[in-house]
Amino acid sequence: MNVMTNPAALDVAPLDVGRIRQDFPILTQTIRGKPLVFLDSAASAQKPRVVIDAMVHAMETQYANVHRGLHWMSERTTEAYEAARDAVAELMNANDRSEVVFVRNSTEAINLLAHSYGRGVLKRGQAVVISGMEHHSNIVPWQLLRDAHGIELRVAPITDAGELDMAAFEALLEDGKVGLVAITHMSNVLGSITPAERIVRIAHAHGAKVMFDGSQAIVHRKIDVRALGCDFYVWTGHKLYGPTGIGVLWGKRDLLERMPPFLGGGDMISSVTYEQSTWAAVPHKFEAGTPAILEGIGLKAAVDYVRAVGYDAMAAHEASLTEHALSRLAAVDGLRVLGQAQDRGGVISFTLDKAHAHDVATLLDRQGIAVRAGHHCAEPLMHRFNLDSTARASFGIYTTHAEIDALADGLIRVREFFK
């Protein structure tokens, strides 16, 4: 299986995982007397020292509410918070910092879009296309839009290998009714990476805008929104080694400008009278109320950290981990990996015969190994494969090959135990 590019071929210095691990204080913890083997980064990643320190530094030395203060603390806090916008704009190669809207998480970003683009720009009778491997957060907001606003919801099927069925996808767009394609850039269950540029080309050729749910992809791949050519891109800070409580909606400026606001309140207005209010310019139009200030500051530290490590090195490391994991897991009796996409990231879902996924997770936890089990907020995808749940191991920059060996050995024990 061709798992991304071979690290050697990328000509990047291999990641010094030992050094990286020293940046994450939590990794020295033990669980039930065993060293922590944290293989649940796709659910939420651990936080490096620099993120913790940035938040502490703000709370200890310069904190106040932002944007409206004329005093020193407020000025400094505003600078620090707005610097996060610059960092994110640069990370994603946005045209302009004003294209970066801060939200709580991917879920809120998609809801914002479903509300402001869905109700504000799409017209009754138009359709939204999602795929058969979406997270609930990229399903439910469109269902709510469908039910409240008469927008049709179409689902592009996936193949048995867990890839988007491109012919079927294109067919869904043929009648020209599709106004927006909202598709994951990387599945949180299968690890599959979708062909973003092709999706954009096809969608644009049929007059549809494209949003990618990059919640997983941003952790594994350098995202260049201009190169992708997409119209919206969303992700969530806590998976990119940042704090909870902050996420990103990136959108092309002219589209953001055409969208009505989502939440109303302080900071998003230009002027307010009882009769009528007018809105601030983007991105502030979409950021009502006191923002997640400390979280923005933490996110900036995370973005800086990730850029310092380098996406090439991260991607190479994860490709190598994934390759190793797939080959070790293949040797576990009765284990079946879900999805065999050609292009995939470091997320592997599997089932074990004779043992239910929850029992697998608990028995691995007993050995200090953290994996997730359940439907992974992707019930329709589970049903597509006639499953209720799988176990899932997912990797971060701090994951080692030895941890994958521990997982494989642990699974062999589980299997023996349930024999």
Partner 1 sequence: MTQTDSFDDLRDLYQEVILDHGRRPRHAQRLEAFDATAKGDNPMCGDRVQVWVKLDADTIDRVGFEARGCAISVASADLMVETVLRRSRADTKALFEAFRTLARTGVCSDCAAALAEPMERLAPLAGVHEYPSRVKCATLPWHALIAALDGTKEASSE
Among all residues, which ones are annotated catalytic? 377
Q: Which amino acid is at 178?
A: V
Give yes or no for residue 30 binding partner 1 (CB under 8 A): no
- Closest listed residue to residue 61, CA positions, set 73, 79, 49: 73
Least Cβ distance, residue 227 to a second copy (angstroms): 28
CA angle 99, 244, 381 (to 5 degrees): 85
Q: Give, as ranges, the residues between 249 and 308 that touch ligand PLP (CB under 6 A).
A: 266, 289-290
As a whole number of angstroms, the distance between CA 162 and CA 193 comes to 10
Contact 37, 368 (CB under 8 A): yes
Could you say which of ligand PLP, a second copy, partner 1, none residue 246 binds, taking C-beta under 5 to 8 angstroms by partner kind?
a second copy
Give yes or no for residue 213 binding ligand PLP (CB under 6 A): yes
Could you say which of ligand PLP, partner 1, a second copy, none residue 36 binds, taking C-beta under 5 to 8 angstroms by partner kind?
a second copy
3-state DSSP assignment of residue 35: strand
Total number of residues that touch ligand PLP (CB under 6 A): 16
Q: What is the DSSP letter of 55?
A: H
Point out which span in 102-110, 300-308, 338-346, 382-390 binds ligand PLP (CB under 6 A).
102-110
Secondary structure (DSSP) of 354-367: TB-HHHHHHHHHTT
Main-chain phi, psi angles of 306, to 5 degrees: -60, -40
As a whole number of angstroms, the distance between CA 145 and CA 109 comes to 14
* CB-count burial class (<10 Å; 0-12, 13-18, 19+) for 75: middle
Give yes or no for residue 353 binding partner 1 (CB under 8 A): no
Could you say which of a second copy, ligand PLP, partner 1, none residue 291 binds, taking C-beta under 5 to 8 angstroms by partner kind?
a second copy
> How far are the Cα atoms of 84, 243, 274 from residue 278, in angstroms, in the given order?
26, 32, 11
Whose Cβ is closer to ligand PLP: residue 80's or residue 183's?
A: 183
Site string for ligand PLP, 49-88 (x = CB under 6 A): ----------------------------------------
Span between the terminal Cα atoms of the chain, in Å: 30
Q: Give, as ranges, the residues between 123 and 182 that touch partner 1 (CB under 8 A).
A: none
Q: What is the DSSP letter of 158?
A: B
* The token pair that represents 285 in the structure block: 């139009």
* CB-count burial class (<10 Å; 0-12, 13-18, 19+) for 35: middle
Could you say which of ligand PLP, a second copy, partner 1, none residue 280 binds, taking C-beta under 5 to 8 angstroms by partner kind?
partner 1
Contact 335, 352 (CB under 8 A): yes
Contact 247, 108 (CB under 8 A): yes
Could you say which of partner 1, ligand PLP, a second copy, none residue 8 binds, taking C-beta under 5 to 8 angstroms by partner kind?
none
Alpha helices, DSSP H only, in 246-310? 253-258, 293-309
Least Cβ distance, residue 239 to ligand PLP (angstroms): 7
Q: Scan for tokens 């994996």, then name that residue.
A: 371
Point out which span in 84-92, 220-228, 235-243, 263-271 binds partner 1 (CB under 8 A).
263-271
Give yes or no for residue 192 binding ligand PLP (CB under 6 A): no
Whose Cβ is closer to a second copy: residue 4's or residue 411's?
A: 411
Q: Give, as ranges, the residues between 354 and 373 that touch partner 1 (CB under 8 A).
A: 355-359, 362-363, 365-367, 373
Could you say which of a second copy, ligand PLP, partner 1, none residue 83 binds, taking C-beta under 5 to 8 angstroms by partner kind?
none
Give yes or no for residue 32 binding partner 1 (CB under 8 A): yes
As a whole number of angstroms, the distance between CA 23 and CA 48 comes to 5
Site string for partner 1, 91-130 (x = CB under 8 A): ----------------------------------------
Give yes or no for residue 413 binding partner 1 (CB under 8 A): yes
Enumerate binding residues for partner 1 (CB under 8 A): 32, 67-70, 74-75, 78-79, 269-271, 280-281, 355-359, 362-363, 365-367, 373-375, 379, 382, 388-389, 409, 412-414, 416-418
